[in-house]
Amino acid sequence: MAEEFASIHLEDYYAKFIEQDVRPDGRELGEFRACSLSVGNLHPTADSSATVRWGNTMIVSGVKLELGKPTDENPEEGFIVINVEMTPLCESRFKPGPPSAFQQSVGQYIEEILINSGCIDLHQLCIKSGKLSWCIYCDIMCLNWDGNFIDACNVALISCLSRLKIPQLIIDEESDKPQINDDIPLRSLEIGLFPISSTFAVFNDSVVIADPNLHEESLTNSTVTITVNIEGTICGLRKNGGSSIKSDQLNVCLEKAVNRARELTQLIEQL
């Protein structure tokens, strides 16, 4: 009975729950879903990999190290290239073919979160100035979309990068070919404080809920993504139009985001 009502009048169904300060999946309005993380699933194909289960949302990410030539503008820097895949497998709204505007902007934003936080200094990826540098290719694939893609993706990406090990290279003087120096142990990629994002949705023009799932995302046209690190520094703030949010509501979201950053940073570091 409840399912039929939900499928016909999703808004009214949700409104009845929100009045009682709770949501259909049992969470409170400001509660995030549990996040579970496992690493090294794609070993040895990927140099570093992670799988994130965020409620029902499932994301797999893999990182590969390749060699490349640095650009002329930044000869001392390497590259990080992030590619985000959303296929019809995870949700029927995505059609096969070139990415839609929505997919592009989500992929672009995941990359921006990482760059904005400045947690990875690209100079450490340089092998020979102007000639050779490491290029980190990150592929993130969504297996099941149940809302809040950005936060889950971000956790998967950071877990992968924090576990990436870079080998030391010797460049053969005569043939100019790089070779891996097996004697020196692999060094880890140096990352500063992790940027952790938290997404909130504005429901019914007045109520702010944390971590919207798929149904909740379809009911709202406005989400706020706040990226903070464990120190409480805001690395990113994005709200894409839709219903407006009051400044004090945004402040509450900021506090929640900082707490969430602490939880997730601990989770990523523990494994």
Partner 1 sequence: VAHYCSTVQVGIFTKHINMDIDEDTDNCANILPQILCEFGVITKNDGSCSYKQRSTTVISAVHGPYDIEHSKQKNDKSVIDVTVSSNDGNLHSSKTKLIEEIIKSSAESSLMLYVYSRTGISLSLQVLSNNGSLLSALINSVTLALIDSGLSMNYMLSAVSCAVLEDSLIVYPTVHEEESATATVMLCFDSVNFDIVSCYSTGKLNVNSYEQVLKLSLRAARQLVKYFRHLIEKKSASARPISSKR
For binding to partner 1 (CB under 8 A), which residues are involved?
A: 101-102, 104-105, 107-109, 112, 116-118, 221-222, 224, 232-247, 250, 254
Q: Between 88 and 232, name the residue whose CB sits nearer to partner 1.
A: 232
Closer to partner 1 by Cβ: residue 50 or 228: 228
Smallest separation, CB 191 to partner 1 (Å): 15
**Which is nearer to partner 1, 132 or 193 (by Cβ)?**
193
**Smallest gap, in angstroms, from Cβ of residue 21 to partner 1?**
22
Nearer to partner 1, 65 or 226 (CB): 226
One-letter amino acid of 194: F
Shorter beta-carbon distance to partner 1: residue 62 or 195? 195
Shortest distance in whole angstroms from residue 206 CB to partner 1: 10
Give residues with Cβ within 8 angstroms of 89, minimum separation 6: 142, 143
Q: Select 5 or 102, whichever has its Cβ closest to partner 1.
A: 102
- CB 176 → partner 1: shortest distance, Å? 35
Burial pattern 111-150, b for ≥16 Cβ within 10 A else e, equals bbbbeebebbebeebbbeeeebbbbbbbbbbbeebbbbbb
Shortest distance (Å) from residue 154 CB to partner 1 = 16
The secondary element (H helix, E strand) that includes residue 77 is none
Q: Identify which of residues 55 and 212 has a Cβ nearer to partner 1 in the complex.
A: 212
Contacts of 154 (CB under 8 A, 6+ apart): 110, 113, 195, 196, 197, 227
The CB-of-101 to partner 1 minimum distance in angstroms stands at 6
Rounded Cα distance between 166 and 176, Å, is: 20
CA distance 221 to 202: 8
Q: Nearest to residue 271, comparing CAs of 42, 57, 52?
A: 52
Instruction: Specify the pairing of strand 79-85 against strand 132-144.
Output: parallel
Distance between CA 259 and CA 253 in Å, rounded? 10
Q: Residue 40 CB, nearest distance to partner 1 (Å)?
A: 31
Instruction: Specify which residues 210 forms β-bridges with.
Output: 200
